[in-house]
Structure 1
C-alpha cells in the first residue's frame, strides 16, 4: 500500500509540474493579449482566464495540502492510512489533469486573439526604434547648430518636451498598451523629425540671408552710382526738349536718394535681425529692400529710356508713325478676314485709333520749334495698344 501511495504521489507530482508548465505558457499568452487589450473579445478572454486561474490555484492548493497531510516515508505508516493517501493523491491527480486540459482548451480558444496581438506587438519594436533614431538625429542636429554659434533655444525646448514620451516608450507596450505605444512612437518620430529638419535648416538659412544681404548691399552701391547719372540726363532733357517731355521726371533724383537711404536703413535692420536670429524679420526686411531697389532702378531706367526715345523720335518721327500705321493695317486686315463688312466691335476702336494717329501727327507738325515729342510717343503707343487689343479680341472669338 505504501508503494502504491508513493506511485500515486509521484504521478501527481509529475502532473503538477506539467500543470505549472501549461499555466506559464497560458500566462505568457494572456500577457500578450493584455498588452494589446483592445476589444470586447480580449476583455472576455482575460475575464475567463481569471476564473480558470482561480480554479488552478484551488487545485494546486489541494494537491499541496495532500502532500503535507501524509508522510509516506514514516516507519509507522499503516495500510489504511496509505490507502487513504493513495486515494487523495489520485483524486488530486485527476483534478490537476482536468485543469491542465482546461488550460489547453483555453489556449486554443485564444489563439486568434494571440495571433492578432503578436502581429501588433511585432510592430512595436521597430516603431519605437524609429522614434529613438529620430530623437538621436534631432539631438545631433541641435548640437551642430549650437556648435555653429547659432542659438536654438526654441528647438531645445521642443526636444526637452519629448523626454517624458521617451520614458513612456521605454516602459513598453505591456504598461501602456500596443495601440498607445504605436501612436506615441509615431508622434515622437514626427516631432523629432520636425526639430531635426528645422535645426538642419538654420545654418543654411543664415548663409542664405548673409548672401542676400551682401547682394543687396552691392545693388545699393550700384544704384547710388547710377543715380549720379540722372542729373546730367535731366539737364540734357531740359536743354533739348520742351518741359512737357520731362516734367514728370523731376522727382526722380530726390526719390532715388530717398529710396537709397530707406534701403540702407532696412538692410541694417535685416542684419540686426539675422544676428538676433529673428529669421522672419530678417526675411521681411530683405523683401522691403528689394522692393525699394526695384522701384528706384525703374525710375532711373525711365529717365535714360526717356532721353533715348526722345532722341530717336526727334531724329525720325516718321518711323514711329509707320510703325503705328502698320499695326493698324494688320489689325484691319484681320478684322476683314472672311467678312464683307467688319464687326462694329472691331471697326469702331480701329477707326478711332486712325483718327487719333492722324491727330497726333498733325499736332506734332504744327508745334513749331519745341514739339511735345513725349505726348506724340504716348499717343502712338496708345494707337498700337488699341490695335493689339482688337487683334486679341478677334483671335479670342475664334
Structure 2
C-alpha cells in the first residue's frame, strides 16, 4: 500500500507541475493579448492624428510586431490543443513534455510582451501629441458650429432691420459644405484636417458675424458721409465762383508769371464739382441698393476729388494773399530766409575752426541764391511769385544741411 501510494503521488506531482506551467503560460498569453489591444488603440489614435513619417513608421512597426504576436499566440494555442492534462492516463513522460512545452510557450510570450512594452514606451511622445490633438478636436468643432450659429443669428437681426446683407449671406452659405464635412467627423477626413477646417470655419463665421454687427452702423456712416460730402460739393461750387474775381485782382496787380498757372482753376473747379455731383448720385444709388463696397468706394472717390479741387481753389486766394504781403514788404521774406541761412552757418561752425565743405558749399550757394533773388525784384511788376518760390527752396536746402549736421553729431555721441 505504501509503495502504490508513493507512485500515485509522484504522478500527481508531475501533473500539477504541467498544470502550473500551463496556467503560467495562459496568464502570460492573457496579458499579451491585453497589452496588444491597448497598444492597438494607441497606434490607431496616432495614425488617425499623425500623418507624418514618424506616425507612418509607428504603424508599420506595430504591424511587424503584430505578426510576431500572432505567431507566438498560434504556437501557444497549438500547445494547448496538443497536451491534455486532464487525461486519466497521463504518464510522467507526457506530463514532462507538456510542462516543457508550456514553459517554452510562456517564455516566447514574455519575450514578445517585453518587445511590446518597449515599443509602447517609444510611442509615448507621439501618443502625447496625438492625445493633445484629440483633446482639441471636439472643442474646435463645437466652436465652429457656435460661430456659424452666431453668424446666422446676426444676419437674421440685420435683415429684420431692413438690410439685405446679400454678400454676407452668400459667404455664410458657402460655408455649408464645410459644415457637412465637420459633421462627417474626423473618421472620414482625419483629425488634423478636421481641426484645421473647424478653425477656418470659425474664423470665417466670426468675420461674417462681426461685419453683420457693424452693418447698421456702416449704413448710418455712409448716410452721414453722403450728407457731409454734398455740403462740401455745394461749398466748393460757391468758392469756385469766387476764383475768377481773385484772378482778376492778380492780373491787375502782378505780372503774368505770378498767375498764369492758375488760369484754368475756375474751369477745372467747375468740372470737378460737376463730376463730384455725378459720383455722389451714383454713390446714393449704390447705397439704396445696399451695394456697400461700391458705396464706400464712391465716397472715397468723391472725397479725393473734392480735396484736390479744394486745394486748387484755395491756391488762388492763398497766392493773392502772399503776393500782397511780399509786395508790400519783401524785406520780411528776405530777413526770414537770411536768418535761416545764418543760423545754419553758426551751427556748422560749432566746435570747428573751419566748416565742413559738405556743409559750407550748400550754405554759401544759398547766400548767393538769396542775393540773386533779391536783385531780381526790379521793374514795375517784379515776379514776386518766383521770388517766394526761390526763398522757400533756399530754406528747404538750409533745413537739409541742418538735419545732416545734427544727424552726424548724434551718431558721434
The answer, yes or no, to whether TM exceeds 0.5 is yes
Shift of 1:47: 0.9
Partner of 2:411: none
* 1:118 and 2:127 matched: yes
Distance 2:345 2:128 in 1: 75
Q: Secondary structure, in 3 states, of the residue corresponding to 1:80?
A: coil
* Number of residue pairs aligned between Structure 1 and Structure 2: 370
Which aligned pairs between 1:198-347 and structure 2 lie closer than 5 A? 198-203=207-212, 206=215, 207-208=217-218, 210-212=220-222, 214-232=224-242, 234-235=244-245, 238=248, 242=252, 244=256, 248-270=261-283, 281-309=294-322, 312=325, 317-318=328-329, 320-332=330-342, 334-335=344-345, 338=349, 343-347=360-364
Deviations 1:158-216 (A, max 9, x none): 452353255341x28xxx8xxx63x3245224422431342134236643465145225
CA distance in 1, matches of 2:281, 2:270: 17
CA distance in 2, matches of 1:204, 1:254: 45
For 1:144, the equivalent position in structure 2 comes to 153
Q: Does 1:28 align with 2:45?
A: no
1:60 is matched with which residue? Answer: 77
The 8 Å contact of residues 32 and 109 in structure 2, kept in 1 or not, is answered as yes
Q: Decide which of 80, 101, 114 is 1:105's aligned counterpart.
A: 114
| 1:43-75 Cα distance to aligned partner (Å, 9 max, x none) | 3343133222233134225525766xx986xxx
Contact 1:56–1:99 (Cα < 8 Å) also in 2: no
Segments of structure 2 that go 5 or more residues without pairing to the other structure are 1-7, 48-54, 160-164, 409-413
TM-score by length of 1: 0.73
Q: Secondary structure at the match of 2:225?
A: helix
What RMSD, in angstroms, separates the aligned Cα atoms of the two structures? 4.2
Query: Is it true that 1:196 corresponds to 2:205 in the alignment?
Result: yes
Equivalent position of 2:404 in the other structure? 396
TM-score by length of 2: 0.71
Cα distance, 1:331 vs structure 2: 1.2
Task: For 1:127-206, list aligned pairs within 5 A.
Answer: 127-147=136-156, 148-149=158-159, 150-151=165-166, 152=168, 153-161=170-178, 163-164=180-181, 167-169=184-186, 171=187, 181=191, 183-203=192-212, 206=215
The offset of 1:218, in angstroms, is 0.8
| Cα drift, residue 23 of structure 1 | 0.9
Q: What is aligned with 2:4?
A: none
1:55–1:99 CA contact under 8 A, matched in 2: yes
| Rounded Cα–Cα distance in structure 2 between residues aligned with 1:232 and 1:59 | 110
Q: What runs of 5+ residues in structure 1 fail to find an aligned partner?
A: 73-78
Contact 2:373 2:391 in 1 (8 A): yes
